[in-house]
Structure 1
Amino acid sequence: MGFKSGNPLPAQALYRRCDPEQFAFKTTQSLEKFSKIPGQDRAVEAIHLATEIDIEGYNVFVLGRPGSGRHTFVREFLKGKAAEQPAPSDWCYVYNFDDPRQPLALKLPAGVSKEFRVDIEHAIQDAQTVIPAAFESEDFQAQQEAITDEFKDRQEKEFQVIGKEAQKRSISVIQTPAGIAFLPMQDNEVIKSDDFDKLPEDQQKQIRKDIDDLTARLQRLMRSIPKHAREMRRKIRQLEHDVASLAVTGPLDELKTKYQHIPVVVEHLERMQADIVENVGLFLGAAEGAGVPAQVKQVMHSREDSALRRYAISVLVDRSGREGAPVVFEDKPSFSELIGKIEYEAEFGTMVTSFNLIRAGALHKANGGYLVLDAAKVLAYPQAWEGLKRAIKSAELRIRSLGDDIGFVSTVSLEPQPIPLELKVVLIGERIHYYLLDRYDPEFSELFKIAADFEDQVPRSEENVEHRARLLATVIRQENLRHMDRAAVARLIEESARHAGDNERLSTDIRQASDLLREAHYWAGHNGKELIGVSDVQQAIDSQVRRASRYMDQMQTEIIRDTLVVETSGARIGQVNGLAVTQLGGFMFGRPQRITATVSLGSGDVVDIEREVDLGGPLHSKGILILTGFLKSHYVKDQPLSMSASLVFEQSYGGVDGDSASAGEMCVLASALAEVPIKQSLAVTGSVDQYGRVQAIGGVNHKIEGFFDICEKRGLSGDQGVLIPAANVKHLMLREDVIEAVDSGKFHVYPVDHVDRCLELLTGLPSGERDADGQFPEDSLNHKICARLTGLAEKRRAFAGAGLKQVDDTDAGKTS
């Protein structure tokens, strides 16, 4: 649609409608499911590449604005991709019989781990029954008694030999509290000490020699007893081993046969069988008597349970009942939730742990598939980002506590065997997260080589419009909402374009469209309708605005009450209505802002009061410098700018930034210079370059509506309107009441491409163009500006000359 700069736009140019007749359907009930995201081909291609390329480091960062459907698309896409892949392996931890501090990891086929755990539990329970029964059997008792009897008989025989020898030598063997003693005898009676001293010397020597010889033989016998006892215990242990091995061979051999196709399981069962035989005491609990204290019973029960804990299978990841690769969305990506953790439990007042208390993290669960994380959440948890990077880079999962990882804890704990890691990590975040990580983390680009950038807007093509309709129908089916007629769909399409701030494009904010759909569903039900109609959609839109517009209404009320001064009629020199946008959360609204300027003789400075008091941002300051450059180049090319001007946003009590007010500031400065009043019935927005061209700005719809609301509340006069950059016409998607006012001639929207057009509309005077001699027409506004600047320059020269003459006179007086 063509238009001329400075001429008011027709109502048709203010809003691009979506014709319901363009749809082939009557209601969304006839539309097919749509699983794609319309207009996101670039991002979809990137995700396809990341999931199909099997090279290290090709993880993907999905970036874009919240609400653009990133999570939904990633979830649906990965589920479809994962369904085509085989289920990865199960993982278990088992007791390490060589080093209990380092539990061993077992890799099992998918779905086998739970069955294996149950089989082991049954085998241990059987062993707890079979082994005690075997040790209580008559055969075992007989063999054990035979070994002990053999030891006793051998010991007794050796004692008998010594006793007989002593008897031959008339030596008596007597058991005393201090041990065995040898005493001489005569006539079958022990010789008393006094009688022994009366014996001949030779006989005494012989008796002493016999006693010493018997004592030496007894000592040798006593020294051999521990050796014989050890031999007895060795035989008993061997007997116990043989009995225990025989008792557990049956159930364990059955398991070896069942799992013979899994070598790691067979190897573990063999090591487990050997350990059971070596630690058979774990299965031989003491009998519980009626008088046994409760604490002793607890210890005995703990001893019995220790066998189950020692030989149990700790299932870390179980894939039973699942098809395809895993897709894990971790909502709480803390260090322990990602990497896994080792838990502790209280036992007799002490915190203890074991391999049975090792817990899987999200990386374990997603191993062999896909892990989806929110970038902001990962970065928020201490060490979570570092732990994630370490796992991806090393391609293994090493479970440790957060305290161990950062070196705060030095206590001895478990060190589970690392598990190989093979998966794709998908990070979802905003663009600022991606670019900050890429800039400040050297490892980021190495680990996340693919960026899937979701569009904020897509072209408003027939294809994308049709896709959006199908997407809305899909949401309706998923959430069991009322279906829409095609007029309601068209209204949602129009609102999407307004949300994008462009009548040629659609917003990709799926969340915003879905929320409107849900609220329209409510209003349709409230109004007793089976289908959602255009009035229900409009009611949902109006309801959203009303809920969020308290602050906007308050500001407009204060303007109407003249607490905030904004004039919408009459004319004033050095005053113009600028337009600003305020955003509170997801709600944006425009409001008029009074801008004033004063001019006096000076040295060419344009003072931005907002900047002087640190309320002006860098973009606003840039706009002031640009318009200063325009003043110099457009009006006084061959002489210095001899003015001092000040610009300010009146009754502004917060920060000001952006250059969208530079067109208004240029116009109000020109008004002050030419001393020509500006119509207060008009407002202006737009940025200006150094050549005076008016450039596009943001929030044009809200700015127009903000000024319209004030004019409407005061009463539309027919000469009120807004000047906007011509480049913003394609962005117009105004409210219906504004369109109706324009159509009836009560309000106007003027597109402008140069500041001269703005000045002509605001002052009612022609701006004028330079003739062949470089002069502006005398009746033009630009001529008045040039004349004022020339006059200021002459005054400045006059002041400079007078000051110089005064200095010369003073010097002459001193000389005389």
Structure 2
Amino acid sequence: MTELPPIPAGLPPETLRRSVDPAQLPFDTTAELADYDEAIGQDRAIEAIRFAIGMRHRGFNLFALGEEGTGRRNLILQYLRGAAAQRPVPDDWAYVDNFAESSRPRALRLPPGRARALERDMDHLVDELIQALPAAFESDEYRGRRRRIEDEQKERQEAAFGAVQEQAAAREVSLIRTPVGLALAPLRNGEVVSPDDFKLLPEDEQDRYRAALEAMQQQLEDVIKRVPRWERDTRARVRELEQEVAAQTIAHLMEDMTGRWADLPAVTAFLDDVARDVAENVAEFIGNGEDGEARTAPPRRRRHHGPDGHFRRYRVNVLVNNETVAGAPVVLETYPTQPNIIGRVEHIAQFGALITDFNLIKPGALHRANGGYLVMDARKLLMNPFAWEDLKRALRAREIRIESPGQSLGLMSTLSLEPEPIPLDLKVVLIGDPMLYYLLSHHDPEFSDLFKVAADFDWRMERSSGNTLLLARSVATLARKEGLRPLERGAVARVIEQASRDVGDAARLSTHMASLADLVREADYWAGEDDAPLIAGRHVDRAISASIYRQDRVRDSVQAEIRDGTVHVETAGEVIGQINGLAVLELGRFSFGRPSRITARVRLGKGDVIDIEREVLLSGPLHGKGVLILSSFLSARFGVEKPLSLTATLVFEQSYGGIEGDSASSTELYALLSALAEAPIRQNLAVTGSVDQFGRVQAIGGVNEKIEGFFDLCRARGLDGSHGVLIPATNAGHLMLRQDVVDACARGLFSVFPIATIDQGIELLTGVPAGGMDSRGRFPPGSINRRVAARLATFARRAEEMGAPRQVAVVARSGG
């Protein structure tokens, strides 16, 4: 016969909570401890961060995955800033006008700190040009040379018309001026012949005058046709004069500036373009002449963008200024929209239209971090339209190309700027939760090529003496940085215990430093309420209790409904097919245990185990899996030689919400065995744990909250020493129960039983031996397993008698 392990006794009180003896801590207060700014328990993540920082090849960007509050951001920034301090300061970047094609501004790369100097020099140059050029055109030399050009034009015209006048006089034709221009008329005896008098002249004389008029008209027209050309020549000579004067003035003003920037060919080329453009558009500087007309013809282009008009094109738009920077930049972009990452082109409303120029190009985080490191929250990045795709495009092309979303998608046809791309060389660090990292890895084929390094932050660490001391030093550092009171070692002991409680494992500590920091801050508040100079253990306890009290209204409501009978959960007596299960409800970061009544009913049927929760779509796939597993166990133990001819139903009574997880599968199996064996279950016990196909009870989560949930109910009704909870034996090392639960167990008022197998559990719940199978496949008389087998055999006989179809296995039905 198979021997069953003995029914376990309740766990001793000292195993229910792994306490910290304050006397074992090597300090009296945290004021004695040295600062510790490093992350605790994150060796794997630190190694990944160091590798990503040191690897300069393409695509080795970093994704830091882990829970919020584990110190991911602070640790990453700490290492990045340390590495950035050892790297050279990156170059400055600026945009200037492309005088050949203004819609495509040019990017200038300058040594660190020199972009702002170029901007100041250009502003000063424009100011000087505005003053010097008008002065140059007001000089006597310029006026004299221009007057000579204009006089030559007048003399040429006068000479040409004088020649026509002389020839006309020789032919007895007069050149006269009329309101509509020049005209020719016959001349006789020094007098102009009127039209009426002309008609009285002899025909031969009229013909002679007509021939002379036609000949002179042709000469006059020839002269008039040459006048516009002469005027163009004059204007060209004036323009050449102005450009010559402007060039001399510009050359004088730019001589020193060109010398200062001679070491940068790109800048000197830009200055040459500026000089040519100023000379070509000198009228924009000198204004109008004395007659109110422009001194020259309109310049070949005028651009009036902004309050200072055309002079804006000579400015320098500094995008990145590293004048005061030491080392490489480390940029934390907290709002990673597409414009905030790659930059944008702004517009100015002017006369009802939106206009822009290169001065309205604004930098993004990629510009500011170029040559260094850029840190962003992955979730926020993905939530902003176009930001993720444009970031990937920039990393792939290794250049920053400023485009609006409409341009990048080909949806915008209006004329806009197309700034010259800027080369990109930086390391990007994304911070996000693990699920986001795995989703990107699976669904985005480019992600793995661009983010080759993952820094996996753990949410827990080993509870060793070394880590305990490091945690104490971290608490001491926090207290000093934030001006909190020092902690007594008793308070530190309570913080360490809470760190284990947070992860639900007595052998580990939480690395969620944000929660522990909040605990210390609140303990400091309560110490202040007591006017205490130090934070004591009672202040930490009060902080924990107060934090729970602020969040446990729902828990109190649930407990009250059970206590007053609105929700039926029994804690005394025995009932067939009914058992107390335990679940955990989570409200934000607060979770609590909730007892539930689980019932099972059996009858003759076709081998179905019906999960009512699943049938009505109130359970998740993991809960359905648990029911299938318990069905397999039942079939393997009792349906090998004969088919199971039963129908069983399982349900969480008075459950009106969703149920997920397999932690109730052993509980449901106990209820089903009780219903089949017609053996009542003790209602003063509650059960949690999943089961495998071999009947082994497996570990579950939230064991502390589940135990405490049933304990609170039993205490409210009165503890009598019979109450307790069955937990998986593998969960025994995870216990970090509240002190009041431990004290009740020490007084024998409550028990926690570690269960390894279903047989152990059913014996404890019913008080009836489970019974092991002998070599002939039979169970001992009177045992639970024998009674179950007999009941199933009865069902099988009745099914045969009724001609019911036989089933070869138990099948748990699913919803639908």
TM-score for the superposition, normalised by structure 1? 0.93
Indicate the SS of the match to 1:328.
Answer: strand
Contact 2:370–2:426 (CA<8 Å) still a contact in 1? Answer: yes
- 1:231 matched to which residue of 2? 233
1:654 aligns with 2:657: yes
Distance 1:197 1:616 in 2: 121
Contact 1:328–1:365 (CA<8 Å) still a contact in 2? Answer: yes
- Map 1:497-512 → 2, pairs under 5 A: 497-512=500-515
Shift of 1:198: 7.3
Distance 1:791 1:303 in 2: 96
1:547 aligns with 2:562: no
- 2:741 matched to which residue of 1? 738
Change (3 A) 1:183 1:612: closer
Indicate the SS of the match to 1:439.
Answer: helix
- 1:563 matched to which residue of 2? 566
1:534 aligns with 2:537: yes
Q: Deviations over 1:623-670 (max 9, x none)?
A: 222222222322343222232221111111111121111111111112
- 2:160 matched to which residue of 1? 158
Contact 2:769–2:783 (CA<8 Å) still a contact in 1? Answer: yes
Shift of 1:204: 5.7
Quick check: 719-728 or 42-51, which moved more? 42-51
Change (3 A) 1:263 1:33: farther
Distance 1:750 1:190 in 2: 140
Picking from 107, 125, 142, the partner of 2:109 is: 107
- 2:256 matched to which residue of 1? 254
Shift of 1:321: 1.1
Counterpart residue identity of residue 630, structure 1: F
Indicate the SS of the match to 1:79.
Answer: helix
- 1:423 matched to which residue of 2? 426
Q: Deviations over 1:445-467 (max 9, x none)?
A: 11111111111211112222222
Picking from 80, 83, 96, the partner of 2:82 is: 80
Indicate the SS of the match to 1:658.
Answer: coil
- 1:680 matched to which residue of 2? 683
Indicate the SS of the match to 1:521.
Answer: helix
1:42 aligns with 2:44: yes
Change (3 A) 1:717 1:196: closer
Indicate the SS of the match to 1:166.
Answer: helix
Indicate the SS of the match to 2:308.
Answer: helix
Indicate the SS of the match to 1:428.
Answer: strand
- 1:751 matched to which residue of 2? 754
Structure 1 alignment gaps of length 5 or more = 290-298, 804-816
Distance 2:201 2:689 in 1: 142
Contact 2:401–2:420 (CA<8 Å) still a contact in 1? Answer: yes
Contact 2:606–2:805 (CA<8 Å) still a contact in 1? Answer: no
Q: Deviations over 1:659-698 (max 9, x none)?
A: 1111111111121122121111111111111111111111
- Map 1:634-783 → 2, pairs under 5 A: 634-783=637-786
Change (3 A) 1:300 1:724: closer
1:398 aligns with 2:378: no
Distance 1:625 1:584 in 2: 29
Contact 2:305–2:357 (CA<8 Å) still a contact in 1? Answer: no
Distance 1:591 1:542 in 2: 19
1:268 aligns with 2:270: yes
- 1:241 matched to which residue of 2? 243
Change (3 A) 1:280 1:545: same
Shift of 1:250: 2.4
Distance 1:520 1:701 in 2: 23
Counterpart residue identity of residue 603, structure 1: K
Distance 1:632 1:732 in 2: 34
Aligned residue-pair number: 793
Report the RMSD for the aligned CA atoms in angstroms: 2.4
Indicate the SS of the match to 1:800.
Answer: coil
Indicate the SS of the match to 2:136.
Answer: helix
Indicate the SS of the match to 2:802.
Answer: helix
Q: Deviations over 1:54-110 (max 9, x none)?
A: 111111111111111111111111111111111211111111100011111111111
Counterpart residue identity of residue 755, structure 2: V
Distance 1:209 1:797 in 2: 142
Change (3 A) 1:620 1:166: closer
State percent identity of aligned pairs: 48
Contact 2:6–2:760 (CA<8 Å) still a contact in 1? Answer: no
Contact 2:7–2:764 (CA<8 Å) still a contact in 1? Answer: no
Q: Deviations over 1:23-81 (max 9, x none)?
A: 32322223233232111111111121112111111111111111111111111111111
Change (3 A) 1:636 1:209: closer
Counterpart residue identity of residue 787, structure 1: A
Indicate the SS of the match to 1:749.
Answer: strand
- 1:810 matched to which residue of 2? none
Q: Deviations over 1:326-375 (max 9, x none)?
A: 11111111111112111111112221111111111111111111111111
Shift of 1:162: 2.9
Change (3 A) 1:681 1:143: same
Q: Deviations over 1:171-227 (max 9, x none)?
A: 433223343334444433345667767777776665554444433333322222222
Distance 1:230 1:670 in 2: 113
Distance 2:202 2:555 in 1: 135
Distance 1:763 1:455 in 2: 42
Indicate the SS of the match to 1:101.
Answer: coil
TM-score for the superposition, normalised by structure 2? 0.93
- 1:442 matched to which residue of 2? 445
Change (3 A) 1:202 1:781: closer
- Map 1:459-608 → 2, pairs under 5 A: 459-608=462-611
Picking from 795, 799, 807, the partner of 1:796 is: 799
Change (3 A) 1:801 1:503: closer
Counterpart residue identity of residue 95, structure 2: Y
- 1:293 matched to which residue of 2? none
Distance 2:22 2:213 in 1: 128
Distance 1:35 1:512 in 2: 17
Q: Deviations over 1:719-757 (max 9, x none)?
A: 111111100011100000000001111110110101111
Q: Deviations over 1:259-294 (max 9, x none)?
A: 1122111110111011000001111235999xxxxx
Counterpart residue identity of residue 562, structure 1: G
Counterpart residue identity of residue 396, structure 2: K
Contact 1:28–1:469 (CA<8 Å) still a contact in 2? Answer: yes
Distance 2:782 2:596 in 1: 30
Quick check: 429-438 or 203-212, which moved more? 203-212
